[in-house]
Chain A
Amino acid sequence: GAGVSQTPSNKVTEKGKYVELRCDPISGHTALYWYRQSLGQGPEFLIYFQGTGAADDSGLPNDRFFAVRPEGSVSTLKIQRTERGDSAVYLCASSSGGNYGYTFGSGTRLTVV
């Protein structure tokens, strides 16, 4: 596609529920990133994919968070047993590698009530 697409744009869920956030990167971009942004702060790294594999998942806060990219394109961030502290904007970005900046999607605003 022309840009990075994230769905849904907004998600409200009850504490304890499971959620999936989807990211469709720019066609041909091999690198895909997930970040989390809380109000008034900069994005915080969660996980980075190169192709289908997670090259660095050191930013995932705990084992409730998991992400996949099975065919090297679309990625899904999965959060189990959501907590109110998970509320944030989840940003996805992709790049073709090298010394280029990322292209970000518009984000998914997750609210856990």
Chain B
Amino acid sequence: AQKITQTQPGMFVQEKEAVTLDCTYDTSDPSYGLFWYKQPSSGEMIFLIYQGSYDQQNATEGRYSLNFQKARKSANLVISASQLGDSAMYFCAMRGVNTNAGKSTFGDGTTLTVKP
């Protein structure tokens, strides 16, 4: 079974500052992928970043980076230089690479509010 835990229901950050959103996971799959999605108030989920469990380097996509610590089973999202448009719900998710390959498990999300 897979489980995603996001312990921060809500976070605030000042515009232009960096923020870290926490995610821990548990799985019995030997190979897996970790994902972050953004869900603005409009409701549409937007894929942000992917990290493979065997990737040697942390993933980066523009202002997003994933701080992957495999031994601690954590996959925190770092957003640099926050913008007002970053205010949204953020979900961490995972799925297996071989087993459970089609099924993603999501956390319950963190609401990020960027203050001007």
- A96 CB-CB contact with B under 8 Å: no
Binary B-proximity of A23-37 (CB < 8 A = 1, otherwise 0): 000000001010100
Interface size class of A (residues with CB under 8 A): 20 to 34
Inter-chain CA distance A45–B100, complex, in Å, is: 11
B102 x A101 contact (CB < 8 A): no
- B98 CB-CB contact with A under 8 Å: no
> Quick one: given A99-B52, A101-B35, A101-B50, are A45 and B103 in contact (CB under 8 Å)?
yes
- A59 CB-CB contact with B under 8 Å: yes
Inter-chain CA distance A31–B95, complex, in Å, is: 14
Distance of B98 from chain A, by nearest CB (Å): 12
Binary A-proximity of B1-41 (CB < 8 A = 1, otherwise 0): 00010000000000000000000000000000101010000
- B84 CB-CB contact with A under 8 Å: no
B102 x A42 contact (CB < 8 A): no
Of the residues A48, A55, A107, contact of B43 by C-beta under 8 Å: A107
Of the residues A31, A43, A56, A105, contact of B106 by C-beta under 8 Å: A43
A55 x B45 contact (CB < 8 A): no
Inter-chain CA distance A58–B99, complex, in Å, is: 13
Distance of A3 from chain B, by nearest CB (Å): 9
B43 x A40 contact (CB < 8 A): no
Task: Give every chain A residue within 8 A of B91 (Cβ-Cβ).
Answer: 42-43
Task: Give every chain A residue within 8 A of B104 (Cβ-Cβ).
Answer: 33, 43, 45, 102
- A111 CB-CB contact with B under 8 Å: no
B102 x A31 contact (CB < 8 A): yes
B33 x A42 contact (CB < 8 A): no
Chain A contact residues, CB within 8 Å of chain B: 31, 33, 35, 40-45, 48, 50, 55-56, 58-59, 89, 91, 93, 99-107
Chain B contact residues, CB within 8 Å of chain A: 4, 33, 35, 37, 42-48, 50, 52, 91, 93, 97, 102-109
Can you pick out 22 interface pairs between chain A and chain B where the beta carbons lie within 8 Å of each other? A41-B109, A42-B4, A42-B106, A42-B108, A43-B45, A43-B91, A43-B106, A48-B102, A59-B103, A99-B33, A99-B50, A99-B52, A100-B50, A101-B37, A101-B47, A101-B50, A102-B45, A102-B104, A104-B46, A105-B44, A106-B42, A106-B43
